[in-house]
A and B are shown apart, each in its own frame.
Chain A
């Protein structure tokens, strides 16, 4: 059984659902209850643009136990076309091919395993385009 904590984040991790402030148009991922920019509490649900640019990255060589079998893997901060930024792993590429400014696209992938049953947990990773 999936945990409530995991289930709650599914709209964001599977479908990239974000909240746009109806007053100042700022987009928040994940959605928030109050806009830090204008203090509005009114949001509409939108889906993030899947394409963006890599702003910075690292190659994780020493991971936590959960990710220790995955090393080395690249993780970066991506600015999507709608201006939203997020942190994601870079998939399907040699780690030495990653560079700042690379054009990337978010894809649906397995991220990690949860609990002693090894339940698969999914979300977004980025691939180079």
Chain B
């Protein structure tokens, strides 16, 4: 296997981008990444999108995007793993270069969610249509059931859930690409509209448009384009049952721990070696459970950790310095790539006001559905 590096990044602002189409936001992000990386050619493209068909009625996304990038006839493939589509696209690009098949690959992600589709119904397709959604459960509803079980089993509190949102909005306020750059108080979160008890509106990531793209390159070739390649030291993926109810424990996310074990092994490191991480905080409870599954905190202690500031920007292990899905926004297919972009900015020391001190190794954890798929990447500054 060849060593692989990230050598360039580009993204649109996340938010309600009513004046731009699905293809235009993707092309904007991709062109920025190409320019940023200074590469002279691209061998192939992977695009992550969860549900362009339901959101805007467009499938065959690989073809649309290569055409509008003016890059025919290079190969382009759409990759889908629900909310982990971006991470899955990045992993395919990584594998294609690691295998020696290609030298330079663009991995991107995109979603256009504000064009009028029933977002609740579209997002719910990431769960089991016949045995969860049919019976009236929504996507926030699934995470709400995880939250209630976690509170019941470990004593996690409503305030601890809210602390995740407060922290991520604070980080996001320093991210120029974030959808919400406003801070929120604990009280505002606790008083926001109830969506699915115990989760309130400010526990949920927003509906967003956005695109993100990165350029991956073999480490050998990377030196032609940059003095500062960021090495991909682990790429791991795992799966779990599609229905939440089929899992032995409703408070663990086994796909996350399984992918983490593989990732740490590939990188030859322990959880304590990670300096900072982007976690898939589609809902506040998700970040708490994920930090436990990644081995940063003991099972059941994730809530207390947020409250104690251990995951804050200057804490023991900063989580979601970008603002996370909660504040940065969650254009589903773009999220996994935007996490890689945050890692890249931190590891190259270009994260501005939200720069993590001594950021040398970062982890990105991207998750699909209620945790049926998980993709983890670890990047290192060399």
Q: Does A123 contact B (CB under 8 A)?
A: yes
Residue of A nearest to B247 (CB): A85
Most buried by B among A30, A63, A89, A121: A63
Instruction: Decide if A58 touches B134 in the complex (CB within 8 Å).
Output: no
A9, A59, A61, A65: the one within 8 Å of B118 (CB): A65
Does chain A have a CB within 8 A of B70?
no
Bound Cα distance from A67 to B132, whole angstroms: 13
**Complex contact A85–B144 (CB within 8 A):** no
A9 touches B130 (CB 8 A): yes
Distance in angstroms from B286 CB to nearest chain A CB is 14
Query: Which one, B135, B149, B195, B244, contacts A62 given CB within 8 A?
Result: B195
Is B136 part of the binding interface, using a Cβ–Cβ cutoff of 8 Å? yes
Instruction: Determine the chain A residues whose CB is within 8 A of the CB of B148 once the complex forms.
Output: 56-58, 100
| Residue on A nearest B199 in the bound complex, by CB | A58
Complex CA gap A107/B172 in Å reads 47
Give residues 26-84 of A contacting B (CB, 8 Å). 30, 55-67, 70, 73, 75-78
Q: Is the CB of A89 within 8 A of B136?
A: yes
B residues near A86, Cβ cutoff 8 Å: 131, 245
**In this assembly, does A22 line the interface, its C-beta being within 8 Å of a C-beta of chain B?**
no
Which of A58, A100, A112 is in CB contact (< 8 Å) with B152? A100
Chain A interface residue count, Cβ-Cβ cutoff 8 angstroms: 33
Chain B residues 110-166 with CB under 8 Å of chain A are 118, 120-121, 124, 130-132, 134-138, 140-141, 144-146, 148-149, 152
Q: Compute the total of residue contacts between A and B using a CB distance below 8 Å.
A: 94
The complex places the Cα of A67 from the Cα of B134 at a distance, in Å, of 10
Question: Contact at B250–A77, with CB atoms within 8 Å?
Answer: yes
Q: Are B149 and A63 in contact (CB under 8 A)?
A: no
A60 B137 Cβ-Cβ under 8 A: yes
Contact A75 B197 (CB under 8 A): no
The contact string, 1 if C-beta is below 8 Å from chain A, for chain B 192-216, is 0111111100000000000000000
Residue B183 at the chain A interface, CB threshold 8 Å: no
CB-based contact B135/A77 at 8 Å: no
**B141 contacts A77, C-beta separation under 8 Å:** no
**Is the pair B137, A123 in contact by a Cβ cutoff of 8 Å?**
no
Contact between chains at A89 and B121 (CB < 8 Å): no
Q: Which residues of A contact B244 (CB under 8 A)?
A: 77, 87
A111 within 8 A of B: yes
Which A residues lie at the B interface, using CB under 8 A? 9, 30, 55-67, 70, 73, 75-78, 85-89, 100, 111-112, 121, 123-125
Instruction: List B residues at the A interface (Cβ < 8 Å).
Output: 118, 120-121, 124, 130-132, 134-138, 140-141, 144-146, 148-149, 152, 193-199, 243-246, 250
Task: Using A56-B148, A58-B148, A111-B136 as known contacts, list a sample of 13 further A-B pairs with CB atoms less than 8 Å apart, ordered by residue number in A.
Answer: A55-B250, A56-B149, A58-B144, A58-B197, A62-B195, A62-B196, A64-B121, A65-B120, A75-B141, A77-B145, A77-B244, A88-B135, A125-B135
